[in-house]
């Protein structure tokens, strides 16, 4: 695929970004797209590798290897190289309902499994995906496609995140009447309130939602199933139900840590959700959000959510910012126990880290061990320290030795004499999620797995209740948006089979 010698002739290019000092002045996306001729050159780098791993979508080492929605990556790279953009868009939409989302916020496990990536920088798959769909919208090639006929069957989808939207989109195309329930005031779930605007502008989400509405999907907001509508009523009013409520119960590994109840300690999603809602409601003028302005901020936990807290805090104008990670710093290159085509667990610097480094001088911080970076690795919070008003004022930490497991079962030991105090007016905990809320479990008597997720086998998606399916993070646990889309599509297929006896959905 692509140009046979393209990977030899062209180097990897990705979109440039607005300078951190410029982009932190607003909440807009900041990537500057490549010109068409360079995009075609990037498509030319896709090799005729015989057995492409980029679209395999398997799990290796508990991480995605290749694209979970099985995007036909070599095919649309070849089409871009030849200038056939409309055909590339058609191939892209065959496997992915929402490439404008994944092309922006997916970590691109496809690139980690690119054959070229074994020895050279991999093909720029993620940006190619975004380029195809963005050009498709710009040229009017993306339009609503209502089904030509209806089956008369009705399906309720609980949750309007990526899994719920993908399920609704597929079932609607099969001709079923779909109603999507969302408890928030806006649709999109994680896409709307869990991801900051600078990573995914909400006009992009709303544009796709309008298409889904035009195709005949009904959406109901400000309605929580199990609270505003009894869960059992959905089973009586609809022919089938798909639960796609996400994994929304946050981990709190510091529940027993001294000082945990001090004011100013918050879960990351409380911070991010409130900021985006206020931004959309009033451009932050209503004050209904946690402001980091002029505050010493500490973010506990790495990953995308922690990074988003960093980028948001910097835009607020925080006084200082530190990011704690309990794990050691990742290596610059793949370790021997992390071979291709596994996801490469290497050191990365994301947009928030770059912005914090541009604003703050970390070389002058006597506590810091990693220069020119907001992160501090192999560090554990042992106490939150407060003032007389009950507000957090600092965090006490200790460094960890991961080469010496402790006697109490943890894979690390604290290093004596490394205790430090870090000033903190606001603490955001980005520690992941432990499962879905249990209201639906209690009302419907749903079976759950050992992690409190709704029990439904992958590939089947059927719960213990007839006609009730589960998909996305509420079934598999906290995961990637691209896995949510995968599960929403596949759950729709099995739901269609349940309703009709057979299915033509992929």
β-pairing, 426-429 vs 296-300, is parallel
HSE-CB of 250 using CA atoms within 13 angstroms: 17
Residue 166 sits at φ, ψ, to 5 deg, of -65, -40
Which token pair is 157?
A: 């989808």
Q: Which residue matches tokens 């995605």?
A: 64
364 and 446, same domain (yes or no) = no
Tell me if 341 sits within 8 A of 53, measured CB to CB. Answer: yes
Full domain range(s) for residue 460: 154-249+433-500
Name the percent of the chain lying above pLDDT 90. 93
Question: Rounded to an integer, what distance in angstroms lies between the CA atom of residue 10 and that of residue 112?
Answer: 19
Q: How confident is the model over 74-124, as pLDDT tens digits?
A: 999 999 999 999 999 999 999 999 999 999 999 999 999 999 999 999 999
Residue 353 sits at φ, ψ, to 5 deg, of -65, -45
Does residue 383 form part of some domain? yes
Question: Considering only 23-27, 145-149, 288-292, 338-342, which range has the smallest mean pLDDT?
Answer: 338-342
Distance of CA 49 to the CA centre of its chain: 29
46 and 182, same domain (yes or no) = no
335 and 390, same domain (yes or no) = yes
120 and 166, same domain (yes or no) = no
278 and 396, same domain (yes or no) = yes
Radius of gyration of the chain (CA): 23
Does residue 506 form part of some domain? no
458 and 330, same domain (yes or no) = no
Residue 208 has pLDDT above 80, yes or no: yes
199 and 234, same domain (yes or no) = yes
The number of distinct structural domains making up the chain is: 3
Does residue 279 form part of some domain? yes
Question: Rounded to an integer, what distance in angstroms lies between the CA atom of residue 145 and that of residue 135?
Answer: 18
Q: Can you give the pLDDT at residue 307?
A: 98
261 and 384, same domain (yes or no) = yes
Q: Could you say which of 410, 429, 448 is where a domain stops? A: 429
DSSP state of 332: S
Average pLDDT over residues 28-56: 94
Query: Strands, E, within 261-319: which ranges?
Result: 265-267, 296-300
Question: Rounded to an integer, what distance in angstroms lies between the CA atom of residue 275 and that of residue 308?
Answer: 11
Alpha-carbon torsion, ordered 277, 280, 283, 287, to 10 deg: -20
Q: Which CATH number characterizes residue 91's domain?
A: 1.10.1060.10
Report CA-CA distances (Å) from 203 to 22, 136, 197, 209, 450: 21, 16, 9, 10, 38
Q: Could you say which of 138, 171, 199 is where a domain stops? A: 138
296 and 325, same domain (yes or no) = yes
Burial annotation 375-395 (CB, 10 A radius, 16+ → b, else e)? bbbbbbbebbbbeeeeebbbb
415 and 447, same domain (yes or no) = no
356 and 304, same domain (yes or no) = yes
Report CA-CA distances (Å) from 20 to 161, 314, 353, 357: 30, 10, 10, 9
Q: Can you give the pLDDT at residue 168?
A: 98
Question: Rounded to an integer, what distance in angstroms lies between the CA atom of residue 482 and that of residue 480?
Answer: 5
Q: Which CATH number characterizes residue 350's domain?
A: 3.50.50.60
Residue 198: strand pairing partners: none
Distance of CA 402 to the CA centre of its chain: 28
Query: In the chain, what is the straight-line distance between the N-terminal and C-terminal CA atoms, in Å?
Result: 24
367 and 277, same domain (yes or no) = yes
Closest CA to 206 of 187, 227, 225: 187
Name the average pLDDT for the chain: 96
Does residue 1 form part of some domain? no
Q: Can you give the pLDDT at residue 366?
A: 77
Q: Could you say which of 429, 461, 477 is where a domain stops? A: 429
Does residue 144 form part of some domain? no
pTM of the model: 0.96
Which token pair is 235?
A: 């089973």
Residue 64 has pLDDT above 90, yes or no: no
Residue 448: strand pairing partners: 454
Q: Which residue matches tokens 């590798």?
A: 49
Q: Check whether the bond before 338 is cis (ω within 30° of 0).
A: no
Residue 181 has pLDDT above 70, yes or no: yes
Residue 1 has pLDDT above 70, yes or no: no
CA dihedral for 184, 221, 485, 28, sign (positive or negative): negative
Question: Rounded to an integer, what distance in angstroms lies between the CA atom of residue 236 and that of residue 233?
Answer: 5
Does residue 147 form part of some domain? no
Does residue 146 form part of some domain? no
Q: How confident is the model over 368-404, as pLDDT tens digits?
A: 878 889 999 999 999 999 999 999 999 999 999 999 9
Does residue 143 form part of some domain? no
């Amino acid at each position: 695929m692509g140009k046979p010698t393209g990977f030899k002739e062209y180097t990897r290019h990705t979109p440039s970004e607005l300078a951190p000092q410029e982009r932190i002045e607003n909440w807009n996306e900041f990537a500057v797209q490549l010109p068409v001729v360079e995009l075609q050159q990037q498509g030319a780098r896709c090799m005729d590798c015989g057995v492409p791993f980029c679209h395999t979508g398997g799990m290796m080492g508990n991480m995605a290897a290749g694209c979970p929605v099985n995007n036909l990556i070599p095919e649309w790279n070849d089409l871009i190289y030849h200038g056939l953009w409309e055909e590339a868009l058609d191939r892209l939409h065959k496997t992915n309902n929402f490439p404008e989302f994944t092309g922006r916020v997916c970590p691109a496990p496809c690139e980690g499994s690119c054959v070229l990536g074994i020895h050279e920088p991999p093909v720029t798959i993620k940006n190619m995906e975004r380029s195809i769909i963005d050009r498709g919208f710009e040229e009017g090639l993306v339009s609503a496609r209502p089904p030509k006929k209806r089956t008369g069957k009705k399906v309720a989808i609980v949750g309007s995140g990526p899994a719920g939207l993908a399920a609704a989109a597929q079932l609607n195309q099969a001709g079923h009447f779909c109603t999507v329930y969302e408890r928030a005031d806006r649709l999109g779930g994680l896409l709307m309130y869990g991801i900051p605007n600078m990573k995914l502008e909400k006009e992009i989400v709303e544009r796709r939602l309008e298409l889904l509405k035009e195709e005949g999907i009904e959406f109901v907001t400000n309605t929580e199933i199990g609270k505003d509508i009894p869960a059992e009523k959905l089973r009586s009013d609809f022919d089938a139900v798909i639960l796609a409520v996400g994994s929304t119960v946050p981990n709190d590994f510091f529940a027993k840590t001294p000082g945990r109840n001090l004011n100013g300690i918050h879960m990351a999603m409380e911070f991010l959700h409130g900021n985006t809602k206020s931004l959309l409601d009033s451009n932050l003028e209503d004050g209904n959000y946690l402001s980091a302005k002029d505050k010493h901020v500490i973010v506990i936990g790495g990953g995308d959510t922690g990074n988003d807290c960093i980028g948001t805090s910097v835009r607020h104008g925080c006084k200082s910012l530190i990011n704690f990670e309990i794990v050691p710093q990742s290596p610059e290159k793949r370790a021997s126990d992390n071979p291709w085509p596994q996801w490469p667990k290497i050191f990365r610097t994301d947009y928030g880290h770059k912005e914090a480094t541009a604003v703050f001088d970390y070389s002058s911080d006597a506590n810091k061990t990693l220069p020119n970076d907001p992160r501090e690795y192999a560090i554990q919070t042992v106490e939150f320290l407060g003032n007389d008003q009950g507000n957090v004022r600092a965090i006490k930490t200790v460094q960890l030795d991961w080469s010496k497991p402790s006697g109490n079962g943890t894979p690390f030991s604290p290093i004596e004499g490394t205790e430090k105090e870090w000033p903190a007016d606001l603490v955001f905990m980005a520690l992941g999620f432990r499962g879905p809320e249990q209201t639906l479990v209690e009302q419907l008597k749903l079976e759950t797995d050992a992690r409190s997720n709704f029990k439904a086998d992958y590939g089947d998606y059927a719960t213990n209740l007839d006609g009730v399916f589960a998909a996305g993070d509420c079934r598999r646990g906290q995961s990637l948006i691209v896995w949510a889309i995968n599960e929403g599509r596949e759950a729709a297929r099995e739901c269609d089979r349940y309703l009709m006896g057979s299915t033509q959905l992929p």
